[in-house]
Amino acid sequence: MTIKLFRSILLLTITSLLNGCLGYPQILNFTFDRGGRGLNSPASELEPQIAAKYIVFVSDRNGSQDIYLFDAKKRLLVDLPGLNSLNEIASHPSISEDGRYLVFMASYEGITDIYLYDRALQQKRNLTANSSYPVRNPTISANGSKIVYEIGINGQWDIRICDRTGKVLHDR
């Protein structure tokens, strides 16, 4: 009786595990593109983040560290006019679920700020321009309404939440 019960439980466990492997996540294979027009190129592709059909990442494929957006369904890079600047080093991108808003960190002459890019308006906004404290690691909410990042105040890293205009909603 105990052996039958053990076999039944074992069979049920194995079946559950195998069924769990059939759904999400899926492995996607993107080919290497020497011309730098695809997801993978001869340059470094760093800090990828995924939301729905979009993959946002950092790459130095044009000679400077910039933000790129890849549409996984169409299998092509999405144009981001007005986002990247020659004199900035971009990093830590995050994207809203619908792909409209991107948030990232950019450094210019040793000063780091958090930026929001609106793809519909093709506008970049500095969310931390009025802050004299160091900032890092931005993330945007799925609906794009809130941005959270770390801020270094008095030698300690705290969490700050703001809206798309940069208005602070909550500290810590």
Domain boundaries, the chain: 26-171
pLDDT of residue 37: 65
φ, ψ for residue 15, nearest 5 deg: -60, -45
Burial-class residue 161 by CB neighbours within 10 Å (0-12, 13-18, 19+).
middle
Residues 6+ apart with CB under 8 A from 53: 71, 72, 73, 99
Could you tell me which of 81, 90, 94, 128 has the C-alpha nearest to residue 108? 90
pLDDT of residue 17: 46
pLDDT of residue 10: 46
* Tens of each residue's pLDDT in the chain, 172 residues: 566 655 555 444 554 444 444 455 554 556 656 655 666 666 677 789 999 999 999 998 878 899 999 999 998 999 999 999 888 999 999 999 999 999 999 999 989 999 999 999 999 999 999 899 999 999 999 999 999 999 999 899 999 999 999 999 976 5
**Does the reported pTM lie above 0.85?**
no
Domain 26-171 adopts which CATH fold? Neuraminidase (2.120.10)
